[in-house]
Amino acid sequence: MQDYRYIESLATLKLDQQTCIGCGNCNTVCPHRIFDMEAKKAVIRDLDACMECGACAKNCPVDAISVTPGVGCAAAIVGSWINTITGRNVLKGCC
Ligand code: SF4
Ligand code: SF4
C-alpha cells in the first residue's frame, strides 16, 4: 500500500523464515499487502507500510511472525508510536 507509510524502519514486525511453512495466511489477511511469497516462504515486501495491527501474527499457525502491539487497536498502535518517538511511556495499552 503506497498511500500509507509508517515512520521509516520503525515497525516492529519480524518474520522468522526458518519457521515459516508457506501457508500464505499472512499474505491473505494483511490489509496493507506487506508480504509476498517467494520459494514457498513468506517475505516482508514493504515494512514501512505495516500498521502493526497483528492480524498476520494471529493467523500464523507456527508463530513465525511477531509484531507489537499487535492488538488491532488504533489507540494502542498510535500510543506505541508516540512512546517510541518521544522516548517516554506516555500512552499505555488499548482502550
Ligand atoms: S501487522 Fe497488520 S499491517 Fe502489519 S504485516 Fe501484519 S497484518 Fe499487515
Ligand atoms: S502465516 Fe506464518 S507460516 Fe504462513 S506464510 Fe505467513 S509466516 Fe509463513
The model's pLDDT over 58-83, given as tens digits with 9 standing for 90+, comes to 999 999 999 986 655 666 667 777 88
Domains of the chain: 14-86 (3.30.70.20)
* Protein residues with CB under 6 Å of any ligand 1 atom: 13, 29-32, 34, 50-56, 67
| pLDDT per position as a tens digit, 13-58 | 999 999 999 999 999 999 899 999 999 999 999 999 998 889 999 9
Query: Ligand 2, closest atom to CA 63?
Result: 2
CB of 91 closer than 6 angstroms to any ligand 2 atom: no
Q: Is 93 exposed, middle or buried (CB count within 10 Å of its CB: 0-12, 13-18, 19+)?
A: exposed
Q: Which cell goes with 27? A: 499474505
> Apex CA 61: angle with CA 58 and CA 64, to 5°?
80
As a whole number, the mean pLDDT across the chain is 86
Which ligand has the shortest distance to the CA of 44?
1
